[in-house]
Structure 1
Amino acid sequence: MDEENRIASNIVNATIEIHRELGPGLLEYAYQAVLAHFLLKEGYKVEIEKPQPVYFDGEKLDVGYRLDLLINEKVIDELKAVEELNRIHMAQVLTYLKLSECRLGLLLNFNVELMKHGIKRVIL
């Protein structure tokens, strides 16, 4: 988990910097583009809207799941711009972790006054 923790720490720092500059109020996909750009500049491998299939009964099924951001094939970032996070958002990240076999996800809600209040770390 050392590499995942290092990546997550850098992502958290990036989201705080982005939020300080842009503030709340943008749409989710705008934050997604800015965060991906920032992390790519830092040298990370960033996959945007990566398809996440479901495997069932020995079959790979594309059911439309998309990971907002997958960083270095290790950390999933699920971005939101909502009034408040709720249990379904957390369940979504947990599901993505299970399906992808990643161990660490970040649920990031940019629609907050201070970004530190919009960061949830999810470990499987």
Structure 2
Amino acid sequence: MNKEKYNLLSKEILDAAIAVHREMGPGLLESVYEHCLMKEFELRGIYAQNQVAVQLIYKGFDLNKDYRIDILVEDEIIIELKAVEVVLPVHEAQIISHLKLTDKRLGFLINFNVPLLKQGFRRFVNNF
């Protein structure tokens, strides 16, 4: 995926998340935002999958441990959703781990429990 496509899709993801936040407001369960965001992507014609399993492979061995990506957009961009008072380093480690384990380039950590969604929207780029 080229840079222009990443930028366009990133804007669509932010716009969709803002639409969900405006409609639902802060203070709900993470799963509520996940389902609403999936519907918003569908309405916009954006291909997305939720609760995507990621295998842990170490030195070529499958360690039989699956991690879950909240939402994978267009098979390229990882979205990790939160509905928390404060985003902690462990939440950031989660998105960084998902990017590294899947060898994806771009991810977003979105915390819906904020007054304005832009305050809860963080971009992560895989430079590993």
Match of 1:73 in 2: 75
SS of equivalent to 1:39: helix
Number of residue pairs matched by the alignment: 124
Q: Deviations along 1:53-74, whole A, 9 cap, x unmatched?
A: 1111212234131000000011
SS of equivalent to 1:21: helix
Q: In structure 1, what residue type is equivalent to 2:51?
A: E
Distance in 1 between residues matched to 2:110 and 2:64, nearest whole Å: 25
Distance in 2 between residues matched to 1:62 and 1:52, nearest whole Å: 10
- The answer to whether the 8 A contact 2:47-2:73 is kept is yes
Q: Deviations along 1:21-78, whole A, 9 cap, x unmatched?
A: 1100110001000001110221121111000111112122341310000000110000
Matched, 1:2 2:13: no
Higher relative contact order structure (alpha carbons within 8 Å, sequence separation ≥ 6): 1
Matched, 1:12 2:14: yes
Runs of 4+ in 1 over 6 A off after TM superposition: none
- C-alpha RMSD of matched pairs (Å): 1.0
Matched, 1:85 2:90: no
SS of equivalent to 1:63: strand
Deviation, structure 1 residue 98: 0.5
Higher alpha-carbon deviation: 69-78 or 34-43:
34-43
Which of 24, 30, 33 is the aligned partner of 2:32?
30
Which stretches in structure 1 are left out of the alignment for 5+ residues? none
Distance in 2 between residues matched to 1:62 and 1:71, nearest whole Å: 25
Distance in 1 between residues matched to 2:112 and 2:13, nearest whole Å: 13
Q: In structure 1, what residue type is equivalent to 2:96?
A: L
Compute the TM-score of the two structures, normalised by the length of structure 1.
0.95
Match of 1:122 in 2: 124
Deviation, structure 1 residue 2: 2.3
Match of 2:61 in 1: 59
Q: In structure 1, what residue type is equivalent to 2:105?
A: R
Match of 1:94 in 2: 96
